[in-house]
Structure formats: C-alpha cells, structure tokens
Structure 1
C-alpha cells in the first residue's frame, strides 16, 4: 500500500503532541534510592567520532558531554559501577553500507572524549555494531555482575545505539522473568541532525518506543 504523505502528516499531528506532552513531566531519578552495589551507569558511544571529529560528529552529541561527565563523577563518588561502550570498526565493517566510514580501529575517533576519559575508573567495551548488548564482552560482564539490578543508560544516539541496547537489555530480563530497572534520563541522551534524519523527531520517537517497551524514562538523575 503506497504511503499517503498528506494523510499521514495530518493523522500524526495529534499523536506527536500527545507524545511530547507525556515527556514533559517525567520524574527525577534519585541515586540515594538505589543501592550502589546493585547499580550501574552505562555510557554509550561518548566518543570523538560522534562528538568532535569525522563525518558523523554532531554538535548535539558534543553538547551532552558536560551532563554525562557530571553523572559519571556522581556515580563514581557513590561507588556505582560505570561501563563505557565505544564504537570501533575495521575497514571491513558491513555497517559502512549504511553509514559513512567512522570510528576506525586505531584512530582517535574511537577514543572516549577527554572529559570522561580523564575521570577514568570505568570498564571499557568496544563494540562493532550499533547494539552493544550483542557484544561478547558485555555478555561476559553481565554474567560476572549478576548483582546489578539497576541500569542507567546515557549517551548517543537515542534512536540507534541507546534504543537498541536499552530495549534488548529489558527484553532479555523479561525473557528470564527478572525484574530490573532499565532507566534512561532524557537530559543525558540525544541524537544527530543529518538530511532527513531530524534529531528532534527521531529523539522523541525513540524515547516513546523505549517507554512502550518497559524502559523507564526520567527527566534527569540527581544525588
């Protein structure tokens, strides 16, 4: 069935307003309500390739750095585990069929941004796809850290790596009949603008789809 552009735009307008309204009054996630030894902060792709250099760099991702770095410091001060994913590909990556060449192994694009790297004290996992959940290193980490019940996910991009990781993680816990908090603070995730990829729209819709999948959305994280 062919897409009817005018009809779709008209019919979706009210839905977009409703979704935006639902994202306006989100609660604040309070760290003092979570046990540090059962909580992990997962930082996704806060690397130079998306924040500072290369064909996929975005000012929206760059603007996330202060909020994410602040949260990393806060979590480390509370003894909360920090895990950091970094996109890292070889020249043979099939991902380059869909995206420009980025985050090549051995280049500065793969590096965590300096503001977070300088804080340190995090577990680094390189990933060769948009979905870090699939990485063998993460699956091993998950097994070794069965005590973690609360996952706070920050970084980029909301509609790609964040959404895929968060919904995969939540679905896996559901499959195992395990109740776990998979949380995304809205002020610490974002995506990019590029051509038809409208950052505002894709960011909003990704948040909505995650919420529909059982991921808990929060306006921010506070001590």
Structure 2
C-alpha cells in the first residue's frame, strides 16, 4: 500500500476534480423525455431510512419534498411510478452487515406518509439492497418493454441506488438495447455513520455511476 500521507494528498486532489465534474453536470427537463418510454423509480423512501430506526437519517428525510414534486410532475405527464420499499424478513442475511432495519410488518418498512398521501405508484417490496432482483420488478420490466428511460431517486446513493442503476443499465446492455438511466443528484442521499461519511460516499457513488454509463444530472426540471 502507498504511504498514508501520499494517499491523502493524491486522494484530496482527485476528490477535488470529481467535485468539479459533479458540480458542472447539467439539469434534465422532464418534458423532454417521452412519457410512453419513461418511468420514475423511487427507492426506499421509507420510515426506516427517513424517520426512525438504526439507519434513519435526516438527510434522507430532506429528500421528501423534491421527490413528491417529481411524483406530481410525472403523474401530470402519465409517467408511471415505481416505489421500492425495504421490507426484510427476520432471517435476512443482510443483517450480518447492517443493523436490523425495516422489518416486514413494522412502521419502518412502510413508505413515508407524504408518499402514501400523493399515491399513484406501484409498490415493490424488496428483501435485499438491489431491487432489480425482485420478481415483481422483473415481471414489470417484461410487461413494459417500451420503457427505456428511468429516473432513479431515493436512498442510499452508494448502496441501493447505485446497485439498482448499474444493474438496470447492464441488463439493457446485455440485450443490446439503448437506455437512459438518469440519477438526479438532488434527489438521492445516503447516511452518516462512523467512517461512512455521507458527503464522500454520495460523491464517489455519483462518480462511479457516471463511469458505468449512468446519466447523472443536477436535477430534473
């Protein structure tokens, strides 16, 4: 391994360059996307990440107004909305890595009230960090072959968002299909916990998604 001082110096320079890259990304206009080929995906805007429990964060709660705005805008354009909700069994091996959270049948595993109130979404429960693997999403994907533009919002940027976005993009690549997987930076977040520095993890995840063909933008106007 390189020496710590060398690592910190070089890493700081690289992080500065990544920050500049992310800061200069453009906005995307929702009405420029074809409604019949576009879907809004909302990942884990549940109480267990926004309001209560071992992994909840005020940073996630602060996403709610922007995502509600997007939901309403998409409904006006007849753009379908998918809402993934972390909802674990008690035996989920994920708890070997993360604290127990979002158990099925608890308030933590439910979408936040603001999302429930606005409605108009298809709910997909997930028992892992990668919602792409859920059978209900696979079925939806097969039943909607014209959907090739996906706007992905929610949390956590470096875990569930990143895994879903990259897996979805590589699935389209596998099938030789062009697709736009769009992640608005102002509508995704992660949490602070120990060395899990939210600002750093957010930035690195956005950069990693860019390098994997994901269209990261500042916001959806």
TM-score range, shorter chain: over 0.9
Deviation at 1:12, TM superposition (A): 1.0
1:123 is aligned to 122
Let me know the Cα RMSD of the aligned residues: 0.8
How many angstroms apart in 1 are the aligned matches of 2:131 and 2:199?
23
1:90 is aligned to 89
Unaligned ranges ≥5, structure 2:
none
**Residue 32 (1) aligns with residue 31 (2):** yes
**Residue 210 (1) aligns with residue 209 (2):** yes
- The 5-angstrom pairing of residues 74-223 of structure 1 reads 74-222=73-221
Deviation at 1:5, TM superposition (A): 2.3
**Residue 8 (1) aligns with residue 4 (2):** no
Residue-by-residue CA offset, 1:184-204 (whole Å, 9 max, x unaligned): 000000100000000000000
Residue-by-residue CA offset, 1:24-78 (whole Å, 9 max, x unaligned): 1211111111111111000000000000011111010011111111111111111
Deviation at 1:121, TM superposition (A): 1.1
1:21 is aligned to 20
2:50 is aligned to 51
How many angstroms apart in 2 are the aligned matches of 1:166 and 1:128?
17
How many angstroms apart in 1 are the aligned matches of 2:2 and 2:141?
42
How many angstroms apart in 2 are the aligned matches of 1:15 and 1:218?
20
Q: How does the TM-score come out when normalised to structure 1?
A: 0.97
Aligned CA distance change for structure 1 residues 56 and 3 (closer, same or farther; 3 Å):
farther
Aligned CA distance change for structure 1 residues 3 and 89 (closer, same or farther; 3 Å):
farther
Residue-by-residue CA offset, 1:151-170 (whole Å, 9 max, x unaligned): 00000000000000000000
Deviation at 1:3, TM superposition (A): 5.7
2:60 is aligned to 61
Aligned residues: 221
